Amino acid sequence: MKSVIIISMFLILFNPCYSANNVKPQQNDTICIYKVIKIDKTRKAKNGTNKAYIILVQDIKTDSIRTIVSLRSNNKTGKRIKKGEYYSLKLDSYYEIDYFITTGMKLSIHIENVTIHVPMDKNTYNIFTTNDLNGLYCKPSCR
């Protein structure tokens, strides 16, 4: 019994999921083409925010699905993204490692001093951000 407690404590203390380094955006220099599958707004909670969009995209080469969070913006220049269309995007992962969390839980991220709660589902294992979007509008680099 004592060894089980010691092993459990070791796993908790040294598990990378609990690392403070986990929440820094990971830069990715690869630009891929993604198909937009779904676009949602965040829901406003009592002390939450509805200042972001949650966008599900699918990588056309690997068929993997990514969850992008894009802050709402008053800058409506560029082309508005639409479900079913393809865009070249450079995504940055928010968490250092990928999570496999039960559906129904939420991941919290902070972008420009805004806290956003992203509900987990079967497709969400990490949260991605991109500089190629202003809200739902593509900058010229993502066409």
Task: Name the token pair of 123.
Answer: 């497709």
Please give the average per-residue pLDDT across 11-22, as a whole number.
Answer: 38
Contacts of 125 (CB under 8 A, 6+ apart): 98, 99, 100
Q: How far apart are CA 95 and CA 119, in angstroms?
A: 15
Domain ranges, ordered by start, for the chain = 25-142
User: What is the model's pTM?
Assistant: 0.73
CA of 11: how far to CAs of 37, 48, 114, in Å? 37, 32, 32
106 C-beta neighbours (distance < 10 Å), count = 12
- 3-state DSSP helix/strand/coil % of the chain, to nearest 5: 15, 40, 45
Residue-wise pLDDT for 29-80, tens only, equals 578 899 999 999 886 654 455 689 999 999 999 888 899 999 988 888 889 9
Q: Which residue has the tokens 């680099």?
A: 141
pLDDT digits (tens, 9 = 90+) for 28-43: 557 889 999 999 988 6
